[in-house]
Structure 1
Amino acid sequence: MPHSSNAPRRRLPREERTRQLLDVAWKLIGDEGTDALTLGRLAEAAGITKPVVYDHFGTRNGLLAALYQDYDERQTAIFDAAVAAAEPTLQDKARVIAASYVDCVLTQGNEIPGVVSALSGSPEMAAVKRQYQQAFIEKCAAILAPFTGPKGLSLASMWAMLGAADSLSDAAVAGDITKDQAQDELQQIILTIVKRSE
């Protein structure tokens, strides 16, 4: 039986409402593009008042930053599961890190580049991106730590690995190299960084 438009709205707990709004925002971006996403449009599509959306995200950049964070959390869960399932060898851990990173970039679709582009240059994006870069570097350093020599992995090496991961993934997205080439090269870079720590 269809709901009457006069039916009272159910007040969702904050966490559920945030999840609902993020899901509606992803759908809007997929259907209409990032430029169409405003807090007002999101409120309309979600069937709630604008003040509720403003209370959750504050600004459009706040919403876009929340979408980026939502995407990153989902990808982190996939990455963590892949690393946990990998064989406890340097070769396999490096392979999984490389494959997971490149796959993440290749499977992000059109939505996340639009979000990143819309946030480009904003303080919100700079803060969110930096937070996730540092978390990824720390995570990879911990994964690779059992295989390093007494010098350990330098922070500069980890940033170089991340830069290579970004560049190789971007080249695979553009079609300049294949996914396999990007993953293989990134795996070799990771192995080289670990070998240099001996």
Structure 2
Amino acid sequence: MTQTRRRLSREERYRQLVETAWQLIGEEGTEALTLGRLAERSGVTKPVVYDHFETRLGLLAALYKDYDARQNALMDQALRTCAPTLAEVSRVIASSYVRCVMRQGREIPGIIAALAGSPQLEEIKREYESAFIEKCRCVLSPYAPGHKISTASLWGMLGAANGLSYAAAQGEISTAQAEDELRTLIVAMVERGRKPASGKDRGEKGG
């Protein structure tokens, strides 16, 4: 008796298409990703893929959204269980960011480059980056002098996170080196403006 294959729900089909798109980029690069090629690899007709993403730009935006969601989920889970100290929170942010990039490998630089080529997609990317920065501000500010961290410093941290993560993805540095350097930069950013302890504060005796 032939077993009837269960029809995927719309959400299940969407997840299948997104995962297949990541696989396709990982094997053949971002330039190989078209809606027609994705339909072929997924074993569905083109109208099915067009129904979910409409255009190639829509597909790229969906992939970036998926990447951002994974990154946030990884960081949120780690933040819920880590010790409430600057050292631990900084470690979580650094390791979550770097490991999410490493998990996607060479696919992420291609996606980001493609996003930058479209004003609409660049706006989406900037929106997610701004949300990440505000999350970092929220969890790091309690450890900063006056509980304040400048926006410029947070954007600088994000730039460093991107640079270090991609260097690790390209094998120029190790994952551990990228995480450690980013953690050090985050701690230095948060503690900037903190006054050095006086001799009295350090327990030193004068005279």
Give the TM-score taking structure 1 as reference length: 0.83
RMSD: 2.5
Aligned equivalents of 1:167, 1:41: Cα separation in 2: 31
| Cα deviations by residue, 1:71-105 (Å, 9 ceiling, x for unpaired) | 22112211211222211111111122112222222
1:31 to partner: Cα distance = 4.1
Identity %: 58
Matches within 5 A, 1:27-106: 27-106=23-102
- Partner amino acid, structure 1, of 2:145: G
Change in 2 beyond 3 A, CA 1:169/1:51: same
Q: Name the residue aligned to 1:155.
A: 151
Task: Quote the Cα distance in structure 2 between the aligned partners of 1:85 and 1:120.
Answer: 35
Q: Are 2:8 and 1:23 equivalent residues in the alignment?
A: no
- Deviation sequence 1:5-52 (CA, Å, 0-9, x none): xx8x83x44323322221232233344443332112222333333223
Quick check: 1:102–1:182 contact (8 Å CA) kept in 2? yes
**The residue matched to 1:129 in structure 2 has which SS?**
helix
Does structure 2 retain, via aligned residues, the 8 Å contact 1:34–1:114? yes
Q: CA deviation at 1:2?
A: 6.1
Query: Offset of 1:197 from its aligned partner?
Result: 5.1
Measured at CA, do residues 133 and 48 of structure 1 come closer, stay the same or move farther in structure 2, by a change above 3 Å? same
Question: CA 1:65–1:2 in structure 2 vs 1: closer, same or farther (change >3 Å)?
Answer: farther
2:108 to 109, 112, 126: 112
User: Unaligned stretches of 5+ in structure 1?
Assistant: none
Rounded Cα–Cα distance in structure 2 between residues aligned with 1:118 and 1:2: 44
Asked if structure 1 preserves the Cα contact closer than 8 Å seen for 2:168 and 2:174, the reply is yes
Task: Report the CA distance between 1:133 and its aligned residue.
Answer: 0.9
TM-score after normalising by structure 2:
0.80
- How far apart, in 2, do the equivalents of 1:106 and 1:196 lie? 29
Gaps of at least 5 residues in structure 2 are 195-207
- Structure showing greater radius of gyration is 2
Distance in 1 (CA, whole Å) between partners of 2:76 and 2:17 is 26
